[in-house]
Structure 1
Amino acid sequence: MSKNKVHYLKKLEIISKINTQGLTVRSVSHDYNISVSTIKDWLRLYDSFGISGLVPGTSIKYPNEIKMKAIEDILVNHLSKADVLKKYKITQNSVLNHWIKRYNNDKTLKQRGVGVRKMNKGRITTFIERIAIVKEIIASDFNYQALSEQSGVSYQQSYSWTQKYKAHGEQGLQDRRGKSRSSDQQLTETEQLKIENKALKAKNELLEIENQLAKKLLEFEKDVTRSL
């Protein structure tokens, strides 16, 4: 039986037999004449996306940061495609293959890829700027690429500053190259509040987006449940 021709309700029935009735994947595979690998793929999709993951045509948009990490795990860290699909909640193997193909053939994607991140060459920044950028990166759930482009700095800069901040706090962002700490690098209370407010605003915007997505998914699952 082709996995593309199986109705999502049938997929849900099969998953239920495994998750609630304790049947093995192999026994269900035999009963329904569906390959073990296909059923495991449905289980992965259900674990990652719920019922919507079983519905054909479900489209998920992935940020460039996720694409880069997935490609890096395949080409550099040598993880299996199955592990990468599960780790980053990627819907289909074909989606991952498409990213890898683009990375190998498209210079634009290569610039966003492993070890080549050259979208920005970097620039000189102030101590206050570095703190603001790092706090926005943290608030955005570490979306280095997007914040680097937005701030006009390189990926390497934003990543390095974030690691220093995590290890040493704000003092880790001081520029100490041949200089003693100067008084103009000290944050005033007003500057500190501005930075914190900016980071809080970015975090709230991210939470609002996540809440809207969660509501839409919940409404979808309720509609599907009513049809069962």
Structure 2
Amino acid sequence: MSKRAFTPTFKLEVLKACEDGFYTLSEIMKKYKVSKSAIKDWKYKFDTYGTAGLQESSTCKSYTKELKLSAVRDCLSGQCSINEAVKKYEVSSTSVLR
């Protein structure tokens, strides 16, 4: 499955549509052809990092062995979900942690 690249402007438009409350989340997902998880991810990144969080990174972020082990241990022990670990350890996405 290919990954679609969305512009920061598009992401802001979707987030604004969610914030306005004129449409349900289901309607927004259909209208913009985006998943619920993508919207939640964009919202978290926008709330945490502002508009800079919506930019696609052009470089791969590296993580220490200790950070990766801690994140995986938290997930396996049930201490947090993979989404929570991504936020807690500031990993770029769930696919990186998987």
Same fold at TM > 0.5: yes
Paired with 2:24 and 2:45, the residues of 1 have a C-alpha distance of 18
Shift in alpha-carbon separation, 1:49–1:6, aligned structure 2, 3 A = same
Instruction: Map 1:60-79; keep pairs closer than 5 Å.
Output: 60-79=61-80
Paired with 1:58 and 1:72, the residues of 2 have a C-alpha distance of 29
Match for residue 53 of structure 1? 53
- The answer to which structure has the higher helix fraction is 1
Instruction: Map 1:160-179; keep pairs closer than 5 Å.
Output: none
TM-superposed CA distance for 1:56, in Å, is 1.6
Shift in alpha-carbon separation, 1:58–1:88, aligned structure 2, 3 A = farther
Shift in alpha-carbon separation, 1:14–1:53, aligned structure 2, 3 A = same
Paired with 1:56 and 1:96, the residues of 2 have a C-alpha distance of 18
Instruction: Output the aligned Cα RMSD.
Output: 2.5
Match for residue 33 of structure 1? 33
Structure 2 unaligned segments of length 5 or more: list them. Answer: none
Moved over 6 A (4+): none
Q: Look up the SS of the partner of 2:4 in the other structure.
A: helix
Equivalent residue letter for 2:40: K
Cα deviation, 1:92-117, whole Å, max 9, x if unaligned, reads: 112212xxxxxxxxxxxxxxxxxxxx
Match for residue 162 of structure 1? none
TM-score by length of 2: 0.71
Paired with 2:12 and 2:72, the residues of 1 have a C-alpha distance of 31
Shift in alpha-carbon separation, 1:64–1:50, aligned structure 2, 3 A = farther
Identity, in percent, stands at 33
TM-score by length of 1: 0.35
